[in-house]
Structure 1
Amino acid sequence: MDIRRVDEHRKRDHLPLLLLADEQEGMVERYLTRGTMFALDMDGATAGVCVVTDEGDRVLEIKNLAVDPAYQRRGLGRALIEFVADRARGRFDTLQVGTGDSPLTVPFYEACGFVRHHRVENFFPDNYDHPIVEAGVLLKDMVYLRREL
């Protein structure tokens, strides 16, 4: 397993993975150019990606975290989070993530040490051009979780 920073051809080379975590390309484009992107490689292939942005006030936000389904449930998402957290310590105080209130994603982040912080009501209907459904749940609000570094 190798984690590397991606500076070029982010969209061209990694869009299918990015769309696993954020299924509307226009939303991905909003943060992709201003964020820092990392890719996790295994067996000569990119198995996962993570995009983070500096939100000010020493807060670093995970905007996109995706692992190829063929590599899921092997700890790679957690490895990307720990890599980002280790690199951010000393420069940031908080790592946060916004996600839908889904039975798949919220428990994953809580298991990685994040706690619920706040929510943005109607985020998904207001920002996406189609309904977003995850694990049979229609996503409405964005839930923000935080982890102190």
Structure 2
Amino acid sequence: MEIKSIYENKKQFMDLLLLADEQESMIDKYLERGDFFALYDSDLKSVCVVTRESDDVCELKNIATYEKWHGNGYGSKLLHHIFSHYKGKYKTMLVGTGDSPWILQFYEKNGFRISHRVKDFFTDNYDHPMFDNGIQLMDMIYLSKNL
């Protein structure tokens, strides 16, 4: 297994990024300013993007694993890599996500704790309704992790 930093042609990974953030115009807002990581295990399995939000805070903007590889630990391995990478550079990592039990459980299992909620984020910022397991996503749930 190998995790690589990607500096150029980040849009070549758009198909995978869209699994976690399904509107390309929203991804475009952070993709070029973010640090991009790709996890390979014989071939590409997972990617993530992390942005600097302040001197003390970075934000995990996107993490995605191809669906056929869900449950194999690739997302968690990528998270632990970026935790190590940013330890000492930032005090806190944030991540925002929809109010989906399985996604929240994934982040909590990896050391994040619920921080706050941005009401109506998905309805105010996306050009179409977003659903997870048949439930419309409305609010953005932010979680934080001390690094």
Q: TM-score, normalised by structure 1?
A: 0.96
Following TM superposition, the consecutive aligned residue runs of length 4 or more in structure 1 with deviations greater than 4 angstroms are none
Say which SS state the counterpart of residue 144 (structure 1) adopts.
strand
2:122 maps to which residue?
Answer: 124
Equivalent position amino acid for 1:55 in 2:
E
| 2:8 counterpart residue number | 8
Deviations 1:60-87 (A, max 9, x none): 1000000011211011111111100101
Percent sequence identity is 46
Structure 2 unmatched ranges of 5 or more: none
- AA aligned to 2:121 is F
Q: Per-residue deviation at 1:57?
A: 3.7
Q: What does residue 18 of structure 1 align with? A: 17
**Secondary structure at 1:26 match in 2:** helix
Contact 1:104–1:135 under 8 Å retained in 2: no
Task: Return the offset for 1:89.
Answer: 0.6
1:21 partner amino acid = A
RMSD: 0.8
Q: Residue 60 of structure 1 contacts residue 96 of structure 1 at CA under 8 Å; is this kept in 2?
A: yes
- Could you say which residue in structure 1 is the equivalent of 2:72? 74
Asked whether the equivalents of residues 51 and 65 of structure 1 are also in contact (C-alpha less than 8 Å), the reply is: yes
1:143 aligns with 2:137: no
- Partner deviation per Cα, 1:23-82 (whole Å, 9 max, x = no partner): 000000000011000000111x21110000011041110000000112110111111111
SS at match of 2:14: helix
* Counterpart Cα distance in 1 of 2:103 and 2:135: 12
Aligned residue pairs: how many? 147
Gaps of 5+ in 1: none
